[in-house]
Structure 1
Amino acid sequence: MDEDKLYKILGYVKVSPYRTNTLKALRNTLKMPSEIAREINLSTSQVSAALSDLKKENLVVCVNEEARKGRLYKCSELGLEIIKLLN
């Protein structure tokens, strides 16, 4: 990915503390939205909205999309690259 696109996505994540903290919470593991919400002290609906935003930008992936409950999310390769730039 070229540098301009990378910085555009980085700015998109950084402008929202919800997106930033949600992405960081997924750094090295699979988690459900409720687990992320507890960890970063947000409501599950705030985390779900952030996950939706991050998914649209291909920063996170839902590994069990068919599940109605207990959906698990992880960082994509791009998401991990963005996390490195956030630190």
Structure 2
Amino acid sequence: MTPKDVDSVEKAAPGRGAVVQCGLTKVAAYRDQNGTLHEYSAICTHLNCIVTWNSSEKTWNCPCHGSRFDNAGTGNQQPSD
């Protein structure tokens, strides 16, 4: 088990992402500046780790191998040095 950031997707603030427990799965929820909620699997497609929200970069980061995904959960942005 890994921790969740908020209790429900309704608590995801505008411009922020959060990992939410939905039944037995984890959801990466991002609420854009217009208030629209976007939900994706919180499981990284590379090593099946649970991503975390990076509020300064506004990216989803994999703690297992350092890849970054944009707030829409796409791409494979490499960490900046």
Larger RCO, structures 1/2 (Cα 8 Å, 6+ apart): 1
- Return the structure number with greater strand share: 2
TM-score, length basis structure 1: 0.22
TM-score by length of structure 2 reads 0.23
Larger helix proportion, structure 1 or 2?
A: 1
